[in-house]
Structure 1
Amino acid sequence: MTTTNRLSWKDVRDEIHDAILSGRYGPGDRLPRDADIAEEMKCARSTVQRAMQDLSDSGLVERRRKGGTRVRAHPVTRATLDIPITRREVEQKGGRYGHQLIRRTQMDAPRSVMATFELTEPRPMLRVEALHLSDGRPYIFEDRWISLDTVPEMIDLDLTTQSANEWLVLNKPYNRCDLRFYAISADAQLAEVLDTAPGAALFVIERTTWTDSAPITTVKAITAPGYQLLTRS
């Protein structure tokens, strides 16, 4: 493992991940103690612990109290998805990004949103409907609810100049995310917004995030026909 100053937990995770994939540590092998790795890589022990937890969550290593950390004998491969900034996603594909705020409405959450957020009492929410564009064409339509208890700053933000997606990714970290994928058929309204035929198959990415038990946002990102999702682990 290489030595680098001010390593983040992701740097440490990637170093250990590479050591496992290269065969330095094989299935069933015990990894060095967290304290030894921290000393070798000149970082905090808490940084190593965070890196190890992520490797454990991804199914590559197994951690046991007083038993240390071992490479799993039969690693479980899991794909991981970071919440993307749609502007960057479009630009990385070579497209010209655009954004249209369709509607923003402040109201108490309806029952369906309360259930998604695991709430029992109505809370003030901001509903934001917006369209992301690629080269002037519909790319993703977002129907988003934002908790104003958790994110009161959203009340005063100009969502015509920066999308709610981008602001939240950059400014509101989360520690829990529920993610669902499914398909729907375009009704007349969605067909018009996404410039497609009624009845067309549409891919939906539904995300809900919390910080501890406080809900942040829940969004249905409905993609235009032809959208492709790629994840790397």
Structure 2
Amino acid sequence: MLTLDKVSLSYGSFQALHGVDIHADEGELVVLLGANGAGKSSIFHAMSGLRRASGGSIRFGGRELVGRKPSQIVEDGLVHCPEGRKLFPGMSVLKNLTLGGYVHRRDSKGSQRLLDDVFALFPILHEKKDCPAGSLSGGQQQMVAIGRALMGRPKALLLDEPSLGLAPLVVRQMFEIIARINKAGTTVLLAEQNAYAALNIASRAYVIEQGRIVLEGSREELLGNEQVRKAYIGA
């Protein structure tokens, strides 16, 4: 469904990605593990068209994505929920969510059905739909960010550090919701530093260090890998 083949990416003279190979099959939940600055966000930026890969190929559903505009990639069904949420804090929760479906704005009935689904997944957002997004708690803001991404009608969803800065109870709830989204049929690529929580809901995982994939395997293989446990789980 989604394949990165020898993808490289540079920021000026700095090369952030070095020949990255990743694939995700339809319905999988695949985790990218790595420390801050390892290259996880760069991979997502290349996939979503925010940064153009300097080498290699990115294919989604048989279509080459390198060179396509971010809006076109969303229309193709690949939607990015960025690190740090990137909400419009002064705008209402409802308006933030509605913006997520902008590329599908001509289908107002479909967007309304999706909005109802988002409110069913996150009931607190319906209660706070008229509140400024910036007035919500960190966990609620992350719900808005994920809900906004779902409004883009993803076949595959890129979630970049959704647990960052959240309390442990909220993190547990967030991962339960991500697992529900995946089980409902959406392919998920999850970039995370919280290795234990992420691996527990994953199909497979990749470990990235300094812009290179250094390890890949099933959930069980990585949970049982001593190198991974020492570096990312702390046991």
Q: More helix by proportion, 1 or 2?
A: 2
Higher RCO structure (Cα 8 Å, ≥6 apart): 2
Compute the TM-score of the two structures, normalised by the length of structure 2: 0.26
Structure with the greater alpha carbon radius of gyration: 1
Compute the TM-score of the two structures, normalised by the length of structure 1: 0.26
Q: More strand by proportion, 1 or 2?
A: 1
